[in-house]
Structures are given as structure tokens and as C-alpha cells.
Amino acid sequence: MSVNVEKRTEPPGEADHATEAWELKERIRSEEGVLRQRRGFFVDAYRRSTTHLLVENDEIVAFASVRRDGYVLFLAVHPEHRGRGHAERLIADVAAEHRSVTCHARTTNTGALGFYEHLGFEVVRRIDDYYEDGGDAYYLKLGGESLRERLSGFVGR
């Protein structure tokens, strides 16, 4: 059975899918203990960013909210839809639109750190007490001279 995943983009100022994105993020937070934010912060940041969404049967399966400078504010993939290349596709879309791609990740979030390393992100620095709960973060930047070539295989998915 073929599954059709539709790509949608919400530009800054639009938030048609903010509630559904929040609910996905909260599901991940409750199950995995990551992606902690206050709802007001999330919605405000979502509205000010460009959000790339992957939708299947009118349900968000993955999204990435990105600032104008290529900083990834939020990246989330529904747990039942992982391993299908959705996050890679979203990062590839971001990389195609920005000269650099950066983000923060918890130092304890080994899954996210492994994913980012797989794509070629490099740790720029560690920031102690970065998160509201006192958690530490790494500031990551997608490196390498052939960024577009490296990720071009994901864009076609």
C-alpha cells in the first residue's frame, strides 16, 4: 500500500496548524521527556517562523519551524512515523532555503544528537543551564562544503 505524505508550508504570520503541532510536540514531551516549552512560547515562535509540515490523511506526521536565519526552533516526528526519512526531508527543505542551518539540542537527548550528527551537524558549543528546567544544550550547525549535495537525496522523497 502506497502512503502519500503531503508537504505544506505555513509562512510567518499563519498558524493554521499550530494547535495540532503543539499536540504532537506535547505527546513527544510526555512520552520521551524532550521538547519542553510553555504553550505561549511555542505558539508565538510558531507564528513568527516558517513551518514545514508533512501531512498524511490530514494528520501532521512531522514538522519543522524555522526562523528567517535558518535556526530550527522545533523539529518533531510522530513516534509512529519515525524511520521513514521525514526529519531528513524537513532538514533538507530548510537547507535548500538557507545558507546555514543551526539548532540547539539537549545534551541528554541522544536520539536527537545522533540524528543531527548523521546529517553532518557539528557541535559549536555547549551551553550550561540553557533550558528553563536547568538542562544543558549543544548549539549545533550543519557543516560541510557540500551541504546541498549531501541533503539533496532527501528532498526528492
The CATH code of the domain that includes 33 is: 3.40.630.30
Residue 102 lies in a domain: yes
Residue 18 lies in a domain: yes
Helices (H), 7-134: 18-32, 39-48, 86-97, 110-119
Residue 1 lies in a domain: no
Domain tally for the chain? Answer: 1
Identity of the amino acid at 33: G
Residue 21 lies in a domain: yes
Residue 42 lies in a domain: yes
So what's the pLDDT on residue 143?
A: 75
Give the residue with greater pLDDT, 145 vs 81.
Answer: 81
Sheet holding 6-10, edge to edge: 6-10, 50-56, 59-66, 72-77
So what's the pLDDT on residue 64?
A: 97
Please check the confidence at residue 49 and state whether its pLDDT lies above 90. yes
Q: Out of 30-34, 121-125, 151-155, pick the least confident.
A: 151-155
CA pair distance 25, 132, nearest whole angstrom = 17
Mean model confidence pLDDT for the chain: 88
Identity of the amino acid at 39: R
Sequential DSSP letters for 15-38:
-TTHHHHHHHHHHHHHHHS-----
Domain that holds residue 69: 6-155
The predicted model gives 84-102 an average pLDDT of: 93
So what's the pLDDT on residue 157?
A: 47
Residue 125 lies in a domain: yes
Please check the confidence at residue 153 and state whether its pLDDT lies above 50. yes
Residue 40 lies in a domain: yes
Residue 121 lies in a domain: yes
Identity of the amino acid at 56: E
Please check the confidence at residue 146 and state whether its pLDDT lies above 80. no
